[in-house]
Amino acid sequence: MANSLKKYRHLIWDWNGTIIDDVLTCVGVLNSILEYYDKPKVTIEQYRKEFDFPVADYYEKLGIDFSKVSYDVVAEQYISQYNKKQYECTLQSGAMEVLKTISDKDLGQSILSAYNQEMLEEVVKYFGLSDFFDNIVGLSDFYAKSKLDNGRDLIKKLELSGEDVLLIGDTTHDYEVAEQIGSDCALIDDGHQERKRLEATNAIVVNAITDIPDLLI
């Protein structure tokens, strides 16, 4: 995708690591899980270099053996700890102002997340952002497998061409979703994956969420 400005009608946002700054929290929870199963802990740098979807595959790379423990059990352990800590997180610096600026441009906005639907709605409301979004779309479970199906459903619901949409995230999976729905993609180097991995896609890569309004005309 060329790094040229274009007119969009709708922005689809990822949540974790894109709007909310939760990488430190996620690594802390992950390390508590790894410690419980007697596996080596990871640093922030290792996490951003290796984290990927589906999450189960990433856990296996870290040494968790799902022939001995169910992924469902590990996922529930993770989400239980994360839910207790998510309200200690903050929004990415400038996120509120960016969302307001885009809203003032009369552009539609939605969230598309691999987070559980009910909890996603609760945390978005907690941070006072619900009114910015036409749609808040999460998964029906806690297993963070993929957003591809929900992405396809969302673009149909919007009744827009993919060319009218900019999808904004912080992982290569967000780029995969953008490809599936035919939209442009901007990835923010301030979240769950390192810049080198983001730049290996064909997405625009920006330093922070505050760079997003510069992509819009």
The reply to whether 82 and 188 lie within a common domain is no
With 0-12 CB in 10 A as exposed, 13-18 as middle and 19+ as buried, what is 61?
exposed
Preceding amide of 213 cis, omega within 30: no
Q: Among residues 35, 63, 88, which one ends one of the domains? A: 88
CB contact set of 62 (below 8 Å; sequence gap of 6+): 34, 39, 40, 42
Query: pLDDT at position 144, please?
Result: 47
Q: How far apart are CA 116 and CA 93, in angstroms?
A: 24
Strand partners, 55: none
- Expressed as residue numbers, the domain containing 59 is 23-88
* pLDDT-above-70 percentage for the chain: 94
The reply to whether 14 and 105 lie within a common domain is yes
Residues 181-214: pLDDT tens digits?
A: 999 999 999 999 999 999 999 999 999 999 999 9
In a domain, 3, yes or no: no
Query: pLDDT at position 146, please?
Result: 66
The reply to whether 120 and 80 lie within a common domain is no
In a domain, 5, yes or no: no
Reduced to 3 states (helix: H, G, I; strand: E, B; else coil), residue 215 is helix
The reply to whether 84 and 94 lie within a common domain is no
Neighbouring CB atoms inside 10 A of 161's CB total 12
Q: What is the CATH number of the domain that holds 195?
A: 3.40.50.1000
The reply to whether 94 and 167 lie within a common domain is yes
The reply to whether 80 and 152 lie within a common domain is no
The reply to whether 150 and 79 lie within a common domain is no
What's the number of domains the chain is made of? 2
The reply to whether 57 and 123 lie within a common domain is no
Model pTM score: 0.92
Confidence check: pLDDT of 89 > 50:
yes
The reply to whether 170 and 142 lie within a common domain is yes
